[in-house]
Amino acid sequence: MSRSPLNLPRLAWRYLWSRPMLMALNLMLLSLGLAAIGFVVLVSEQLEQGLKRDLAGIDLVVGAKGSPMQILLAGVFHLDQSTGNIPLATVRQLRQQPLVAQAVPISLGDSYRGHRIVGTTPEYLGLYGLTLAQGQGWARPMQAVLGAEVARLSGLQPGDRFHGTHGLASGGDEHEQAYEVTGVLAPTGGVADRLVLTDLASVWEAHAAHGHGPSAGVVGEARGDHDHDRDRDQGQGHGHGHGHDQKGNKDHDGGEDKDGQHQGHDHDHDGSQDRDHEKSRDHHEDRDRSGAKVGGSTSQGAETVDDPSLEVSMVLVRYRSPLAAVMLPRWVNAQPGLQASVPALETARLLSMLGVGIEVLRGFGLVLLIAASLSVLVALLHAVRERQGDLAMLRMLGATPARVAGLIALEALMLAALATVLALALAHALTGGLGAVLAAQQSVRISGTWLSAWEALVPALALGLALLAAAWPAWRGYRLDVTELLQTPR
């Protein structure tokens, strides 16, 4: 028998669209089920990757007594309010622990257009491996480095100024003192892109001006120096500053009375003033020898001030040895007012809580896929029954039973291919929409352009279901008796 000259793909395509309403229903069910599976894959993978990236080797977060989960969300992912403040002396206590390799303090409480302003030390940049794309790091209080996302949305560049607001949401009371942008961080795709980083003393100074933090005298002591240029910009400067050498020492303001107001000085340098000047210079030299500099500022100068009113929000800790994972959290929890949050444990809890919603969505997708498979199965069975005459004619024209069965299977595979394309497009669109909503809330970053190797499950699942649904109808087509069909009156 000669080979059939029929074009089976074209015939299968025409058969597929012969009943458009049923075709659209099957396509919709299959596409929605596959899209739900693809959406779960894209979102869950990005969440897991984001959690791992933002932890950046942080082994422990120390905060005020409260929920360990809240401490982790506030201190690492910056998605929640902090549980309170802890004394600055806690940082020194942690650094003195032989089990601690690194302890990086952070101070929260302010924001800029919804972006968190984080007071910290230059060690924070090294902890996350952050690099500058523009400008340089902060050299003194009230200078700031912007994350890539903050710079993009705000349009701020090095040299610009902005005012932070009190609180972690937009619309709070605006601080009078302005921050100066000194640099912009290179994009990382992590939480640092959404942050404004500054010195610890910047947060204390901004809060002291609102009466929420230490007094101006304490802040001045924590800073170790004052900047006349910024004071003059704000109308608070005095023209009597003591000049220092060109190695980076700054000018000093006059002293403060008990009410925190600057006292005036004349320009006559008597012996007492000279001695004060020498003491001030010695103080700067001691700080320069004791602290590591980044951009001209000491990283630990503010932390050496022994004043109980100075506080930080949390401390990010990196272990020196595995033994610390057992001993250090217990030691922290035994201290009055301190709470340890272990990221490994809390992220497992967080993923388990998120996993409930993910499993529900995955189950919903599987139900849709089962319904779609059954619908395709029924549709193909009806198609075989309705097209018995056509199939018999194909056999008479030379089509083998295998080609007839292949025609039915090809129809199901075409439906699966269409559903796969629509499902992947819908999954990425839904992921992009969720990412836009989360971005507007300054939350976790999720992108609709993310590509995952696990997306290969979508076409594999679609083709597998199509072949499974077409197996019985294809077998029925394969077993058709042409002689009986031609003898049966129609």
Upper half-sphere CA count for residue 351 (Cβ side, 13 Å): 16
- Can you give the pLDDT at residue 244? 37
Check residue 223 and report its DSSP letter: H
H or E stretch covering 324:
helix 324-334
CB 384 within 8 A of CB 408: yes
pLDDT of 119: 95
Decide: 279 and 181 in contact? Cβ < 8 Å. Answer: no
State residue 423's pLDDT score: 92
Tokens of 230: 């910024």
298-304-308-310 Cα dihedral, nearest 10 degrees? 10
Q: Looking at residue 248, what is its pLDDT?
A: 36
Q: How far apart are CA 174 and CA 110, in angstroms?
A: 9
Per-residue pLDDT of the chain (490 residues; tens, 9 = 90+): 344 446 778 888 888 888 888 888 888 888 888 998 899 889 888 888 888 888 878 999 999 999 999 999 999 988 888 899 999 999 999 999 999 999 999 999 888 988 999 999 999 999 988 999 999 999 999 999 999 999 999 999 999 999 988 876 666 677 778 999 999 999 988 899 999 999 999 988 887 755 555 544 444 444 444 444 444 444 443 333 333 333 333 333 433 343 434 333 444 444 444 444 444 444 444 433 333 334 334 444 555 555 667 899 999 999 999 999 999 999 999 999 999 999 989 988 887 777 777 778 778 888 888 888 888 888 777 777 777 666 767 766 667 778 878 888 888 889 889 999 999 999 999 999 998 888 877 777 888 888 888 888 889 888 888 888 888 887 877 776 666 555 555 4
Taking CA 175 as the corner, what is the angle to CA 172 and CA 180, rounded to the nearest 5 degrees?
120
pLDDT at 3: 47
What angle separates helix 200-209 from helix 216-223, to the nearest 10 degrees?
A: 160
| pLDDT value, residue 488 | 55
Contact 234, 202 (CB under 8 A): no
Provide the pLDDT for residue 225: 46
Q: Which residue has the tokens 């932070």?
A: 164
Query: What pLDDT is attached to residue 318?
Result: 94
